[in-house]
Structure 1
């Protein structure tokens, strides 16, 4: 579980940044928004203040700047800007930062989104990673094709370690980002902090199980409730009916076909 805890800690820190960006997007009330990530490995901690000063020097330009999850990492929100305008600001920032900071080689990724709904934590995470992995001198322009490749998050909740490991390997091979929990209480904490797109869960769990557990998932999720797929040994018809009546998206009994599981999860997420 240590690897999960470490990953969750890192993800939680970064999620705070992405949540800040999402909140500002909602507050600006503009549908079109530009987003830009700047990264320089080992870069100075004052890059964010330099970026802020450069953007504020242009009359009429709205912007919001955050320091990223490590020194040299910066996130920028540019409300109302189309892709061409965001690209121009990226080029301007790159030139002026290199003039101001000796031996500075920023890696950059940018995009413009036509609707607020397109700006999601998973997408912002992918953009930041693109900036960090961009070793060329060109600015990486995040496109609709990149948006389609953003990984969906699946939380696996299963008490049997062998089944849990099999599910993680299987889902990772399908391209999903996964985390695991072996009991209902840990699962609820992960749903709150990690915000999965789908919860694949057993009903017979330590701590909290059955319909009370399903109701808790709905309560801790807030407005963005994940899809719920039950994967369980329970075959009682009444239990199955109650699960669907209480918001479960699919119900699969064990033993299960891996191919069928793949298809049902894909159907729920699409």
Structure 2
């Protein structure tokens, strides 16, 4: 394969199947796999990525595009996770140099065998739905088996703390800043648990919880409320409306870990 050999023809069929086919061509070899979605709508994203990758000396790559979501999958044959991460950082900076508000969302892993369809779906969805500017890195176990937790809170510092804490516990996380955004993300990402404040913008409290239960999903997520509200009536109403647990702020991280584990297992 020549350096940066990129298929130019329009891809047909399921992108997950195409990626599986490409990995099968690389027996006993590690392959970096990056999913990229530009929330800032960078025109000709595929062209920009292709031209940049061609400038990387000695780096092979293949690009696949999901025409429906406009998400790109970039394969780095022969690259371990750390090397693929470095190339991804260079690519991210290049896209920001072209368009400062490109807002590239990236998820990255490295595989040594054909990844499952579920793993590829997880990586693609995490890139498209991410609200962080950091490259999200997944190990095989994380992408395959980690429980999914959607964090819903208008406070950025709270979201950041919870994301770091939950990632350390081995959970896969996404974040939403309000109830309306969360209600869009749940059917698309299908989290196992929603960890939410009930003082939210747009829609909050019991109506928000009610709408979660009405969503058309295979398995309704568990709901844990993490809130400043300490009114006994509010807490009681939450449990009556299907909340699995209620934790008041300020909270003990260790206690929160235990309650989440109890809900998920």
Q: How does the TM-score come out when normalised to structure 1?
A: 0.51
Among residues 174, 181, 184, which one is paired with 2:169 in the alignment?
A: 174
Query: How has the CA–CA distance of structure 1 residues 45 and 245 changed in structure 2, closer, same or farther, with 3 Å as cutoff?
Result: farther
Distance (whole Å) between structure 1 residues aligned to residue 119 and residue 215 of structure 2? 19
Which residue matches 1:229? Answer: 224
Distance (whole Å) between structure 2 residues aligned to residue 267 and residue 123 of structure 1? 28
Unaligned runs of 5+ in 2: 28-76, 79-110, 124-139
SS in 2 for 1:192: helix
What does the per-residue CA deviation read over 1:235-263, in whole Å, with 9 as the maximum and x for residues that have no partner? 12121122112111111011100000011
- Whether the 8 Å CA contact 1:157–1:199 is kept in 2: the answer is yes
Aligned length: 167
The Cα RMSD (Å) is 3.8
Query: How has the CA–CA distance of structure 1 residues 192 and 43 changed in structure 2, closer, same or farther, with 3 Å as cutoff?
Result: same
- Whether the 8 Å CA contact 2:16–2:120 is kept in 1: the answer is no
Which residue matches 1:30? Answer: none
Q: CA deviation at 1:109?
A: 3.5
Which residue matches 1:101? Answer: none
Distance (whole Å) between structure 2 residues aligned to residue 120 and residue 215 of structure 1? 32
Among residues 52, 68, 73, which one is paired with 2:19 in the alignment?
A: 73
- Whether the 8 Å CA contact 2:142–2:171 is kept in 1: the answer is no
What does the per-residue CA deviation read over 1:82-137, in whole Å, with 9 as the maximum and x for residues that have no partner? xxxxxxxx89xx7xxxxxxxxxx9987469xxxxxxx99458648xxxxxxxxxxx
* 1:219 equivalenced with 2:214 (yes/no): yes
- After the TM superposition, which parts of structure 1 deviate over 3 Å for at least 4 consecutive aligned residues? 41-46, 105-111, 119-126, 145-149
* 1:200 equivalenced with 2:195 (yes/no): yes
SS in 2 for 1:163: helix
Judging by fraction of residues, say which structure has more helix. Answer: 1
Distance (whole Å) between structure 2 residues aligned to residue 184 and residue 219 of structure 1? 14
Distance (whole Å) between structure 1 residues aligned to residue 177 and residue 142 of structure 2? 31
Distance (whole Å) between structure 1 residues aligned to residue 185 and residue 15 of structure 2? 25
Map 1:109-120 → 2, pairs under 5 A: 109=113
Unaligned runs of 5+ in 1: 1-40, 50-64, 76-89, 95-104, 112-118, 127-144
Distance (whole Å) between structure 1 residues aligned to residue 143 and residue 182 of structure 2? 27
